[in-house]
Amino acid sequence: MVSSPAVNQQISRIRELFQPTLNFLGYELYDLALTGTSGHTTLRVRIDRPEGVTLADCERVSKSLSALLDQADPLPTRYDLEVSSPGAERPLRNLEEYRRFIGKRSNVRYRVGDSERVAEGRLTAVSDDAIELQLGEGKHLRTALIPLTDILAARLAVDLSRH
């Protein structure tokens, strides 16, 4: 991963360049990263929207962003543009994302005292300071209330029970 003040400044400029077009097209800029070496750089753009992202969406956005990049020329070296979705097991990064995915299967790594635990279950509720996961099934059904301050990492999990 390329990271320096100059690269962070480039990413900020590119984010500002992309934002109006993505908003107009109906997409959220989920993540933006520059990777690789100075000789060959990859600009990775991850997009999202409430109904999800298809391959056709990625192609449409890639064409629009390529035209913007050609016009503004914000990168001094050769680069490849990659446009994708956050994926099926996307990280959950903030309250808004937890709320958006209520009802979805989630994997949460969290602190309990001096140790860590991992819980996987259905995200059933979100408050300003905690999330609630429904764990197990049938007679073994239980609920875990996890304070947001204890969460180390959280992501969506593939839900095999609903296929």
Helix axes 5-25, 55-72, angle to 10 degrees: 120
pLDDT digits (tens, 9 = 90+) for 19-58: 999 999 999 999 999 888 767 889 999 999 988 899 999 9
pLDDT in tens, 101-132: 999 999 999 999 999 999 999 999 999 999 99
First to last CA, the chain: 36
Pick from 74, 128, 96, 102: which is nearest to 30 by CA?
A: 96
pLDDT value for 163: 45
Question: If you average pLDDT over residues 5-21, what whole number do you get?
Answer: 90
Sorted by where each begins, the domain ranges of the chain are: 5-84, 95-162
For the structural domain made of 95-162, what CATH number should be given? 2.30.30.520
**Is domain 5-84 annotated with CATH 3.40.50.2300?**
no
Average pLDDT over residues 55-69: 95
Residue 12 is predicted with a pLDDT of 92
Based on the number of CB atoms within 10 Å of its own CB, is 71 exposed (0-12), middle (13-18) or buried (19 or more)? exposed
d(CA 60, CA 84): 11
Confidence band for 160, pLDDT divided at 50, 70 and 90: confident
The per-residue pLDDT for 117 is 96
